[in-house]
Amino acid sequence: MDLYSLIKENFISGEWKRISLKKINSLLEAKRPFEQKAVLKILNALENDGEIVFIDGFYVATVHADLIKGVLRGNEKGFAFLVPENGGSDYFIPNRNLNGALHQDVVLAKKVQSSVKGSNDEAEVVRIIKRGVTILSGTFYIDRGRGLVRPDDKNFFEDVYVERALERGARTGDKVLVKIVGYYKGYSPDGEIVEVLGKRNDLMAEENSIIKGSGFEEKFNGNVMQEVGKISQKVADNELIGRHNYTNRLIITIDGEDSRDFDDAVEVELLDNGHYRLGVHIADVSEYVKRGSAIDSEAYNRSTSVYFPDRVIPMLPRELSNGICSLNEGETRLTLSCIMEIDRSGDVVDRQIVKSAIRSKRRMTYTQVEAIVNGDKEMQGAFKDVTEMILQMADLQAILTKKRDERGSVDLDVKEAHIIYNDGQIEVGQRTAKRAYKIIEEFMVLANECVAEFAFYQELPILYRTHERPTVEKATAFIEFLKALGVNVRWRAESVRPSDFSTVLDRVKDKPFYSLVNKVMLRSMQKASYYPENLGHFGLSSNCYCHFTSPIRRYPDLIVHRVLKYALDGEINAINDLYGDFIYDSAKQTSEKEKRADEVERAVDDLYKAKYMEQFIGHEFDAVISGVTSFGVFCELENTVEGFTPLECLPRANYVFDKNTFSLTSPKHTFKLGERVRIGVMGVDLSSRRTEFIILYKIK
């Protein structure tokens, strides 16, 4: 064991509980100056990483010092919550206890006497281990001759000071990207403007501010593009050696009209025994993105593609994502295939995972497939060669959906916005073609399950897609919410099953608050994430699940592909050597990147919705109350646009907020979740991405 590991192990194990530098040198027999210098360097490194702390002349392991290590989640009102690194409940940290720490900082904190009677979750920051924000976006302004940037992210509640020489020509009202160059306790952080993005309330400036301020970069560096330039855009004949050749089979892709990267293709065949043969063919990205290459390093750093109404920031350069890796119509492509035989009950009776090659016969869209399934004769005539297979796909999908429903899978019906941006025009509506989406969803879920089960029983090191049971606190809150709607349940919060949630949806499917229950149910669930161990997937009621079907846009899928190919080639030892430890680091990296991408996608969608609603200021619409807080009411339109009515714009009264029933009540007025109302559009603020409504009256 090396010296670093030895010292760390002595602290973590508790062998050294409270120890001086002199005692450490004595125990390690570090007598000469260079030996003592090496020990001190290691102690400083462990202290910088938050593994140990130096208190009153003694070193103590953090885990044995009653300190909590975690990440701060700021609030625009100036306080923060500490999210512990090892899980557990969050701690409240008032502004006076932050001691210079800010949003996203990694800190050590200690529990303190709470200022709120009956509360025991207050803490104080004792050490900032690592600053979480190094670059952010915001609006530049001048105050008393000083240049300042007000961050877009309100959770970062301190403005950033910019010296005149570092303003880069920014003027009041400009959206800017600012790099933080210094933190000083009691003062605003010092920053340097990196880029002026445009004027506040300009759509593109606001969008770029969100994207760049969150750390997403569209361009790939020179090393990556140099490697990309060496990759052929054609599959050579010798590359088909050792692969199952499916290039003559009737295989198609089904995607959105505006899709450019196609990483999955499908086929269905009705067998003589009455079973279905389902082939799910996925682009073999690992053939072109080699472990340790510049392309791979950048893909790992990005971990996911991010989708916006006007652009995509891809995980891989477009020469790969839209080119040689994309299963384009009429082009031979290398794939990994999961071939499944499925009986009439929806059970997989046989499966095969192979290296393969395909040539997509048709690039179908969801709209076209939806029309074919719904019996559109004109569309069926236009696609005679694939119509019979598509109808068989719909039959198989119905069988698989029924199977999933029987095992209790939670099939949420949450409204999903479809935002189209074309030549400066924005359209906002709900996604349609639900049956066509369902076909692909069921096929991909089944393939992911089959691959996960194969990896699990082979004990292969992959990233599983895990979705844990809702916490007791969130499940209890959901039960209380249902009670307020008059829906009583018999299950207990601590033992909720997927089938319990499914039963709730069945019971309220004809109620006016159905979509609302879907939304609150989603909020009550845990966030799905990637993990090196199989913990199951609550929402899908699946015992074993992973992501295999989108390696062009998700790094976890790429890891699964690489491991599968090693296993198929019989190179088991190489798998463990390459991925045994890496899998744990990649689980954290990919989960965090996915979370950040989701947040940015939602923020940009909200921006486009707000811009879309500018044209309707002064107009009236029917809406449903979708959120009730102590400070106002949220209402949602049919097209998924949500607007806010602040408390002061409601009929004047003394309102009482009930967090259990999600209601605001006064002697004359009550506003509750799920109620239908008529609203007027009062205004739009692009910078905060908020649309303001006024509630005119309730709809009986």
The pLDDT tens digits of the residues spanning 492-551 come to 999 999 999 999 999 998 887 888 888 889 989 999 999 999 999 999 999 999 999 999
Fill in the DSSP letter of residue 467: B
CA distance 458 to 560: 13
pLDDT range class, residue 678, cuts 50, 70, 90: very high
Does 421 lie in the same domain as 396?
yes
Same domain, 408 and 330: yes
Same domain for 559 and 641?
no
**% the chain with pLDDT above 70:** 99
* CATH value at residue 640: 2.40.50.140
Average pLDDT, integer, range 223-237: 96
User: Is 483 part of any domain?
Assistant: no
Identify which has the larger pLDDT, 87 or 461. Answer: 461
| Joined tokens for residue 531 | 């993990």
Q: Which long-range contacts (CB under 8 A, 24 or more apart) does 52-57 make?
A: 52/11, 53/108, 53/126, 53/127, 57/20
Domain assignment present for 638 = yes
Domain identity same for 249 and 267 = yes
pLDDT in tens, 322-352: 999 999 999 999 999 999 999 999 999 999 9
The residue among 192, 213, 234 that closes a domain is: 213
Q: Is 475 a member of any domain?
A: no
Place of tokens 């004949």: 237
Residue 385 near residue 362, CB atoms below 8 Å? yes
Across the chain, what does the average pLDDT equal? 92
**Which residue range forms the structural domain that includes residue 21?**
3-63
Structure tokens that stand for 509 in this block: 């499917």
pLDDT of residue 210: 95
What number is the average pLDDT over the span 203-219?
93
Same domain, 320 and 405: yes
Which among 369, 376, 415 has a CA at the least distance from the CA of 393?
369
3-state per-residue secondary structure call for 307-357: ECCCCEECCCCHHHHHHHCCCCCCCEEEEEEEEEEECCCCCEEEEEEEEEE
Give the pTM. Answer: 0.87
Rounded Cα–Cα distance for residues 700 and 698 (Å) = 6
Neighbour count for residue 56 (Cβ, 10 Å): 6
Please check whether residue 515 lies inside any domain of the structure: no
Closest CA to 428 of 437, 419, 436: 419
Task: Report whether 619 contacts 681 (CB < 8 A).
Answer: yes
Q: Is the pLDDT of residue 118 over 60?
A: no
β-pair type (417-422, 264-270): unpaired
Residues 319 and 375 in one domain: yes
Would you list the DSSP string of 434-451?
A: HHHHHHHHHHHHHHHHHH
In a domain, 266, yes or no: yes
In 75-145, beta strands by DSSP E: 80-84, 91-93, 106-111, 123-130, 135-143
- With a cut of 70, say whether residue 119 has pLDDT above it: no
pLDDT band at 117 (very low <50, low <70, confident <90, very high): low
Collapsing DSSP to helix, strand or coil, 89 comes out as coil
Give per-residue pLDDT as tens, 5-63: 899 999 988 889 889 999 999 999 999 998 999 999 999 989 888 888 887 788 988 87
The number of folded domains in the chain is: 5
**What's the CA dihedral at 300, 303, 305, 307 to 10 degrees?**
-140
Among 175, 195, 213, the domain boundary falls at 213
Residue finishing a domain among 21, 37, 63: 63
Q: Which of 54-68, 463-477, 597-611 comes out lowest in average pLDDT? A: 54-68
336 and 353, same domain (yes or no): yes
Same domain, 160 and 100: no
Q: Which percentage of the chain shows pLDDT scores above 90?
A: 76
- Answer whether residue 609 is part of any domain: no
Residue 48's pLDDT is 83
pLDDT recorded at residue 514: 85
User: What one-character-per-residue DSSP string does 258-277 give?
Assistant: T-----EEEEEEE-TTS-EE
pLDDT exceeds 80 at position 186: no
Residue 477 belongs to some domain of the structure: no
25 and 105 in a common domain:
no
User: With 80 as the cut, is the pLDDT of residue 150 above it?
Assistant: yes
Are 53 and 194 found together in one domain? no
Task: Transcribe 25-66 into DSSP letters.
Answer: HHHTT--SHHHHHHHHHHHHHHHHTTSEEEETTEEEEGGGTT
Q: What is the mean pLDDT of residues 610-636?
A: 94
Residues 89 and 57 in one domain: no
Task: Quote the pLDDT of residue 575.
Answer: 83
CATH number of the domain where residue 158 is located: 2.40.50.700
Number of Cα atoms under 13 Å in the Cβ half of residue 33:
0
Q: pLDDT for 255-296, tens place per residue?
A: 998 888 999 999 999 999 999 999 999 999 999 999 999 999
Q: Is residue 480 part of a domain?
A: no
Shared-domain flag, residues 31 and 11: yes
